[in-house]
Amino acid sequence: MGKVSLEGIEFHAYHGVFSEEKKLGNRFTVDLHVATDFRQAMLHDDLKKTVDYYKLYQIAKGHMQVPVKLLEHLAHLMIQDILKVYPDTTQISVIIKKHNPALGGVVNYSVVEVNYPQDYQ
């Protein structure tokens, strides 16, 4: 068992509840962690036997381009797509940070973390 991760993926996107967020957008950082059995990939140098982080990036990028209100929902959508591509995955963690959230004060970022299967029980 091992983990394939992408950390610090940055996007400019338009997620949020407030109208300003939907117009101006914001900077987001996404971290994806996918636990899987990649022993065969490790032994045989075969990309088909592990999680391809290019595909993970494409999943994140695709969802970041479609505005939603809640980061919790956005993380859920990413997890669902990861499970479609990698159904044997045992654990997934999606962490989304919204930089400088519109809260009326100085805040570096707000963070949502959704974990599969823990948050789905």
Residues acting as catalytic residues = 98
CB 85 within 8 A of CB 36: no
Q: How far apart are the first and last CA of the chain?
A: 22
Question: What is the chain's Cα-based Rg?
Answer: 16
Structure tokens at 107: 């805040």
Q: Tokens 């045989």 label which residue? A: 44
DSSP single-letter state for residue 88: T
